[in-house]
Amino acid sequence: MNFEKLLDEKKIEEIEKEEFSSEFAEKDLETAKRNLINKDFDWAVSIAYNAVLRVGRSVMTMFGYRAIGKEHHKNLFEFLRETEFDLDLIDYFDNIRKQRNSFVYRDFEVASKESTEETLKKAEEFVQKIRTFVQKIRTNKQEKSL
């Protein structure tokens, strides 16, 4: 994992490392599910996306970085690509980022029930895979220190 290019391009900056947590992401997923039940599909997608952002930010801070700049959401996904985390899920949520932008900033409704269900399922998968990814990193660090 090499983050030098992102640092040089001022897309991320170094910060003090923090412990990883998926707690807020999991709360967001529960809220997104309630919005799905209430047929508020665009907000359900937006909140599921927020869960992905929260857990992604937590991974970044675990490594000692944060995304910066006007495109900090986009920069977060670029960072995650450098970690070689699940590239298909990163691409999926990078596309959701663009759709969410239309909903939040342009008042376009974009989500159907089916697409919302898919996004929620993928957000849950993203959070679970991130937890597994973090556990694997922790295990590798412990093995190297022995």
Query: pLDDT tens, 62-81?
Result: 999 999 999 999 999 999 99
Quick one: pLDDT at residue 140?
81
Exposure on the CB side of residue 64, measured as CA atoms within 13 A = 8
Residue range 83-97: mean pLDDT, rounded: 93
CB atoms within 10 A of CB 120: 20
Residue range 119-139: mean pLDDT, rounded: 95
- Percent of the chain exceeding pLDDT 90 equals 79
Could you give phi then psi for residue 13, rounded to 5 degrees? -140, 155
Quick one: pLDDT at residue 6?
97
User: Angle, nearest 10°, between helix axes 23-37 and 41-63?
Assistant: 170
Residue the block writes with tokens 């508020």: 40
Residue range 19-34: mean pLDDT, rounded: 97
Residue range 107-115: mean pLDDT, rounded: 81
Quick one: pLDDT at residue 84?
86
Compute the distance between CA of residue 142 and CA of residue 146 in angstroms, rounded to an integer.
Answer: 7
Could you give phi then psi for residue 52, rounded to 5 degrees? -65, -45
Provide the 3-class DSSP secondary structure of residue 21.
Answer: coil
User: Angle, nearest 10°, between helix axes 72-82 and 41-63?
Assistant: 60
pLDDT band of residue 98 (cuts 50, 70, 90) is confident
Q: Nearest Cα to 72, choosing from 15, 11, 18? A: 11
pLDDT band of residue 145 (cuts 50, 70, 90) is low
Asked whether residue 146 carries a pLDDT value surpassing 60, the answer given is no
Question: How far out from the chain centre does Cα 126 lie?
Answer: 8
Asked whether residue 139 carries a pLDDT value surpassing 90, the answer given is no
Cβ atoms of 96 and 49 closer than 8 Å? yes
CB atoms within 10 A of CB 20: 19
Task: Name the fold adopted by 4-145.
Answer: Four Helix Bundle (Hemerythrin (Met), subunit A) (1.20.120)
Residues in contact with 35: Cβ distance below 8 Å, sequence separation at least 6, in sequence order: 41, 43, 44, 47
